[in-house]
Structures are given as C-alpha cells and as structure tokens.
Amino acid sequence: MWAHRKLIVIFYRPLFIANIAFNFIALLFIHIFGWGLALNALFIKAAGYAILVGYQYTLYNKTYFYYRNSGVPIRKMYGYTFLLDFLVFALATLIYWIAAK
C-alpha cells in the first residue's frame, strides 16, 4: 500500500467530497434515529460506495488504464480507497459517540 500512496491519493481525490457527504448523511441518520439503528448507517455507506463505483466507472473509465499501466489493479485501488474512507467514518462515529455521552 505504501508504495502506491500517491496513486491512491490521485484515485481518491474525485471521490473525496462525495464520501464526506455520505459520511455526514450516515452520521445524521445515527443522530436522528439513535444508536439502535446505527447498523443502517452502514447500508447508507454501502449504497454510497455503489454509487461512487458507478460514477467512477462511467465518467473516469479511461483513467483506469493509467493505474493498470502503473501496475496497480483497479480493485486494489477501490479496496484501499474504501478502507481509508471506512476508517474515517469509524473515527467520526467514535468521536460522535464520545461527544454524545
């Protein structure tokens, strides 16, 4: 992962604002409906990932060759991107949980 961190940043850049928006929507869902339905926030995140993969696939399809030529499979790039985003979401949820007490 560390050998390709610049590529991950380049790949993540067009998705960053949308991922932050889905994080906010998921945290807002937890805030409105409480921690009893917090698992549904993960479904919001999964739907966000599906929408972003579709967005990336339709609008940035030609950039996949750049990553393939760099020797990085596109699935690995999505894996790293979604892992990074999920860690940000988990951290934001933890901070919200601590602040709510």
| pLDDT, tens only, 47-78 | 989 988 888 788 777 777 777 777 778 888 88
Domain that holds residue 24: 2-100
pLDDT average, residue stretch 76-85: 87
Please state, in angstroms and rounded to a whole number, the distance separating the CA atoms of residues 89 and 95: 10
Q: What is the pTM of this model?
A: 0.81
Q: Please say if the pLDDT value at position 87 is more than 70.
A: yes
Total domains, the chain: 1
What pLDDT score does 1 carry? 56
What pLDDT score does 100 carry? 85
Between 6 and 66, residue with greater pLDDT: 6
Please state, in angstroms and rounded to a whole number, the distance separating the CA atoms of residues 90 and 24: 12
What tokens were used for 78? 């999505």
